[in-house]
């Protein structure tokens, strides 16, 4: 294991999680996926109608599978091979693909997928807070370099005020609670114009946990950076 990375940030942690407890991980799509899907399929939205979605940190594939079930072509990426195994369920349509890949190594996969689709979106739920600051920086730089003008980013992450709240999955996950405003500023600095953002509760309720989250849709705009 890379000694600069703690066990909780390492793929072994997530491999153990998905191997041991995958029955406990939610299988139904998240509230954020339903929201994002509605935006992606709206024909007259400013981002145009999306035909392909790249999901970073797709976990067991529950959100990507929703997108695929609605006809969108999907590339789900996750560093955990156990998670990717759960994504590759029987009966997956040919337009849904899942790859074991760390975000920082996804450049070629993103470039190829973006070339093959006319309107591509990037989606990441509960991912930005699950990676280090350095990995976030690499991810934003990769998206800045590879996404075409007008491509939207859909992000949902835990914010600082969520740090002290009770967690269904306990304190063992690596969580880098994010300052919502500062996160939006980093996204803008990477050349993405925020067209929607909100911070609050009620967006990611799961059993007795109602996480405090930030959400945004940000569109690639080369004139910004
Ligand atoms: C909190 S889970 C979220 C899973 C899913 N998006 C959901 O909302 O159910 C974070 C996921 O990110 C993955 N992950 C963590 N660091 C990663 C990295 N650097 N590159 C790719 N995937 C990573 C983990 O394996 C895990 O599946």
Highest mean pLDDT among 18-27, 156-165, 186-195: 186-195
Residue 14 Cβ contacting ligand 1 at under 6 Å: yes
Range of the domain at 32: 7-220
Q: Give the pairing type, strands 96-100 and 73-78.
A: parallel
Specify if 225 maps to a domain.
no
pLDDT of residue 177 exceeding 90, the answer is yes
Residues 134 and 186: their CA atoms lie apart, in Å, by 12
The ligand 1 atom nearest the CA atom of 132: 19
Specify if 163 maps to a domain.
yes
The CATH code of the domain that includes 206 is: 3.40.50.150
- Number of structural domains the chain divides into: 1
pLDDT of residue 1 exceeding 60, the answer is no
Specify if 1 maps to a domain.
no
Specify if 18 maps to a domain.
yes
Give percent above pLDDT 90 in the chain: 71
| Per-residue model confidence (pLDDT) at position 49 | 87
Residue 109 Cβ contacting ligand 1 at under 6 Å: no
Asked if residue 186 lies in contact with residue 140, where contact means CB atoms within 8 angstroms, the answer is: yes
DSSP-assigned beta bridge partners for residue 213: 158, 200
- Token pair, residue 74, equals 């999907």
| Per-residue model confidence (pLDDT) at position 164 | 83
Can you tell me the mean pLDDT for 16-28?
Answer: 78
Going by alpha carbons, the residue nearest to atom 13 of ligand 1 is 57
| Per-residue model confidence (pLDDT) at position 131 | 95
Specify if 74 maps to a domain.
yes
Specify if 176 maps to a domain.
yes
Specify if 66 maps to a domain.
yes
Q: Please name which of 178, 130, 142, 137 lies closest in space to residue 11, comparing C-alpha atoms.
A: 130
Can you tell me the mean pLDDT for 58-82?
Answer: 96
Q: How far is CA 21 from each of CA 25, 169, 209, rounded to the nearest angstrom?
A: 7, 10, 18
Under DSSP, the state recorded for 160 is G
What kind and span of H or E run contains 218? strand 213-220
Give percent above pLDDT 70 in the chain: 93
Residue 125 Cβ contacting ligand 1 at under 6 Å: yes
Residues 78 and 91: their CA atoms lie apart, in Å, by 20
Q: What are the backbone dihedrals phi and psi of residue 214, each rounded to the nearest 5 degrees, phi first?
A: -110, 145
């Amino acid at each position: 294991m890379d000694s600069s990375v703690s066990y909780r940030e390492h793929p072994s942690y997530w491999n153990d999680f998905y191997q041991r407890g995958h029955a406990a991980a939610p299988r139904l799509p998240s509230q954020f996926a339903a929201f994002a899907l509605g935006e992606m399929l709206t024909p007259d939205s400013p981002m145009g109608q999306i035909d392909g979605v790249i999901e970073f940190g797709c976990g067991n594939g529950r959100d990507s599978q929703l997108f695929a079930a609605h006809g969108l072509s999907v590339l789900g990426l996750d560093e955990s091979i156990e998670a990717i195994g759960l994504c590759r369920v029987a009966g997956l349509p040919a337009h849904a693909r899942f790859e074991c890949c760390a975000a920082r190594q996804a450049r070629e996969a993103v470039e190829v997928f973006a070339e093959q689709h006319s309107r591509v979106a990037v989606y990441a739920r509960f991912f930005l807070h699950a990676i280090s600051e350095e990995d976030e920086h690499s991810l934003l730089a990769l998206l800045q370099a590879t996404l075409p003008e007008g491509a939207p980013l859909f992000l949902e992450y835990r914010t600082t005020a969520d740090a002290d709240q009770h967690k269904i999955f306990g304190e063992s996950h690596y969580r880098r609670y994010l300052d919502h405003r500062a996160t939006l500023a980093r996204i803008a600095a990477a050349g993405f114009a925020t067209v929607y953002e909100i911070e609050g509760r009620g967006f990611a309720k799961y059993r007795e946990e109602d996480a405090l989250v930030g959400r945004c849709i940000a569109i690639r705009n080369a004139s910004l950076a």
